[in-house]
């Protein structure tokens, strides 16, 4: 049978994530992956969550195993609220919705907002999962350059001035994926002014905000928002466990109501046991202490990566900005046009990195950039991986 005629336009030309394709090639256990976005698993609180899950299912099986409500288990909503309030990101007109990962919140916010042909301004480069979510609603992506201190605001204003049909700006202002860059306070304020002037929504995605290991915290855009213009997506993936798929959305009530209806027809509700585990973990343990351990580890791993890069990369041929938190480091090779042959050669040498084209609004345009991750591998593997990468770069640049 021929299935193309049954396919919706939105999926006909859709390409799977090239990162996932690369993961398939990475089954080889000798490959050191600097490619993924996995948080460090060595700190996962398995023992604590084991006791917690065991006890919940033993003492309250009905709550843990029966249907729950779409907006989230009330105490889990309180946990999400606490995290969001810690960064002053819950306005009085906002509702909180628990999501099966923040990605679901971004997907369903896009579904609630975007008609075919509507435009979304995104950082260029940006997180492929969100860009692909927007693409599935047949929205047009308009990229605005990310600089070391965040999105270029003049370019943003110019773009809004010259572009009709923009409904939303999507931003990861803190420790951005893939660049690791953080938007300055000034730029955050300016973004709110521009969004107000051109009357567009802001979707602020903040999965890495808790992972600062250097410098000073910058307020979230949501915390500076006086017009209820910002939808805020938070996540437990990088501060507790990504495999539990727990995130949340803070959104003005009229939008939250629609997003909740879309969740109702999507997965009905987020699994109860993962919500209950998170609630109990936050009740019994100080999650900020746990996060602090992660931050410390990521700081060390980042430093190890940067020092290996300084040692093994060909001098003056690769540019990067040292991140102050998060899990990614972004590199540019100004002397070449296309990083693809280097990425392929790296796989031969058993080290995996992600080519920059994956994060672009135009995934077919060549890119001379690549993303490195330092949260997942051990320090030893980071050093060896960067050494292998340095060999390839020295040979090919």
Q: For 354, phi and psi rounded to 5 degrees? A: -105, 125
Q: Is 327 within 8 Å of 211 (Cβ atoms)?
A: yes
Say whether 267 sits in a helix, a strand or coil: coil
* 189: Cβ contacts below 8 Å, ≥ 6 apart: 224
User: Which of the 8 DSSP states describes residue 126?
Assistant: -
User: Which of 397, 383, 385 is CA-nearest to residue 308?
Assistant: 383
Q: Is 50 in the site for a second copy (CB under 8 A)?
A: yes
Interacting span for a second copy (CB under 8 A) from 74-82, 172-180, 263-271, 340-348: 263-271
Q: Is 55 in the site for a second copy (CB under 8 A)?
A: yes
User: Please, what is the minimum distance in Å from the beta carbon of residue 310 to a second copy?
Assistant: 30
Residue choice 152, 266, 340, 378 for contact with a second copy (CB under 8 A): 266
Residue choice 264, 307, 335, 394 for contact with a second copy (CB under 8 A): 264
Q: Is 17 in the site for a second copy (CB under 8 A)?
A: yes
Residue choice 107, 204, 205, 280 for contact with a second copy (CB under 8 A): 107
Residue choice 32, 34, 79, 114 for contact with a second copy (CB under 8 A): 114
Whole-angstrom Cα distance, residue 351 to residue 297?
Answer: 22
Residue 309 tokens read as 């890069």
Q: Is 388 within 8 Å of 32 (Cβ atoms)?
A: yes
- Contacts (CB under 8 A) with a second copy, residues 167-186: 167-168
Q: Is 268 in the site for a second copy (CB under 8 A)?
A: yes
Burial of 69 (0-12, 13-18, 19+ CB in 10 A): middle
Say if residue 178 is preceded by a cis peptide, omega within 30 of 0: yes
Count other Cβ atoms within 10 Å, centred on residue 344.
13
Q: Is 280 in the site for a second copy (CB under 8 A)?
A: no
Residue choice 76, 96, 97, 112 for contact with a second copy (CB under 8 A): 112
User: Please, what is the minimum distance in Å from the beta carbon of residue 191 to a second copy?
Assistant: 17
Whole-angstrom Cα distance, residue 287 to residue 271?
Answer: 21
Whole-angstrom Cα distance, residue 331 to residue 312?
Answer: 14
If the CB atoms of residues 55 and 319 are measured against a second copy, the closer one turns out to be 55
Residue choice 11, 29, 92, 315 for contact with a second copy (CB under 8 A): 11
User: Please, what is the minimum distance in Å from the beta carbon of residue 26 to a second copy?
Assistant: 12
In the shown chain, the binding pattern of residues 217 to 256 toward a second copy, with x for contact by CB under 8 A and - for none, equals: ----------xxx-----------xxxxx------x-xx-
The 10 Å CB-count burial string (b at 16+, else e) for 133-161 is: bbbebebbbbbbebbebbbbbeebbebbe
Rg (CA), the chain: 21
Q: Is 365 in the site for a second copy (CB under 8 A)?
A: no
Interacting span for a second copy (CB under 8 A) from 66-74, 148-156, 296-304, 319-327: 66-74
- Contacts (CB under 8 A) with a second copy, residues 284-343: none
In the shown chain, the binding pattern of residues 19 to 38 toward a second copy, with x for contact by CB under 8 A and - for none, equals: -x---------------xxx
Whole-angstrom Cα distance, residue 151 to residue 170?
Answer: 11
User: Please, what is the minimum distance in Å from the beta carbon of residue 274 to a second copy?
Assistant: 5
User: Please, what is the minimum distance in Å from the beta carbon of residue 303 to a second copy?
Assistant: 23
H/E stretch holding 183 reads: none
If the CB atoms of residues 97 and 112 are measured against a second copy, the closer one turns out to be 112
Interacting span for a second copy (CB under 8 A) from 3-11, 145-153, 173-181, 388-396: 3-11
Q: Which residue has the tokens 């640049």?
A: 397
User: Which of the 8 DSSP states describes residue 120?
Assistant: E
User: Please, what is the minimum distance in Å from the beta carbon of residue 97 to a second copy?
Assistant: 13
- Contacts (CB under 8 A) with a second copy, residues 87-106: 99-101, 103-104
User: Please, what is the minimum distance in Å from the beta carbon of residue 224 to a second copy?
Assistant: 16
């Amino acid at each position: 049978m021929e299935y193309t005629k049954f396919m919706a336009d939105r999926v006909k030309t859709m390409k799977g994530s090239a990162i996932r394709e690369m993961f398939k090639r990475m089954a080889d256990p000798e490959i050191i992956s600097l490619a993924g976005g996995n948080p460090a698993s060595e700190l996962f609180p398995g023992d604590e969550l084991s006791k917690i899950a065991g006890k919940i299912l033993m003492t309250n099986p009905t709550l843990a195993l029966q249907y729950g409500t779409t907006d989230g288990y009330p105490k889990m909503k309180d946990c999400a609220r606490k995290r969001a309030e810690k960064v002053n990101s819950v306005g009085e007109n906002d509702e909180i919705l628990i999501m099966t990962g923040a990605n679901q919140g971004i997907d369903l916010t896009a579904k609630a907002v975007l008609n075919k042909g509507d435009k979304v301004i995104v950082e260029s480069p940006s997180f492929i999962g969100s860009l692909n979510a927007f693409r599935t609603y047949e929205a047009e992506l308009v990229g605005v350059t990310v600089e070391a201190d965040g999105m270029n605001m003049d370019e943003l204003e110019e773009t809004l001035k010259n572009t009709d049909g923009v409904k939303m700006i999507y931003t990861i202002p803190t420790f951005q994926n893939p660049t690791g860059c953080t938007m300055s306070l000034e730029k955050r304020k300016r973004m709110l002014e521009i969004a107000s002037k051109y009357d567009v929504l802001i979707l602020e995605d903040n999965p890495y905000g808790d992972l600062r290991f250097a410098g000073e915290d910058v307020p979230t855009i949501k915390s500076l928002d006086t017009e209820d213009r910002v939808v805020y997506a938070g996540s437990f993936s990088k501060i507790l466990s990504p495999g539990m798929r727990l995130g949340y959305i803070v959104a003005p009530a009229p939008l939250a109501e629609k997003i909740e209806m879309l969740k109702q027809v999507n997965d009905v509700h987020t699994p109860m046991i993962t919500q209950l585990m998170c609630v109990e973990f936050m009740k019994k343990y100080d999650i900020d202490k746990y996060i602090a351990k992660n931050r410390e580890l990521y700081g060390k791993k980042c430093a190890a990566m940067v020092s290996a890069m300084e040692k093994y990369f060909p001098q003056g041929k690769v540019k990067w900005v040292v991140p102050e938190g998060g899990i990614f480091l972004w590199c540019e090779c100004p002397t070449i046009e296309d990083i693809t042959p280097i990425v392929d050669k790296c796989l031969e040498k058993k080290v995996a990195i992600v080519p920059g084209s994956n994060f672009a609004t135009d995934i077919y345009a060549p890119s001379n950039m690549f993303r490195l991750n330092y949260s997942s591998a051990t320090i030893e593997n980071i050093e060896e991986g960067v050494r292998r990468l340095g060999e390839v770069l020295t040979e090919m640049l």
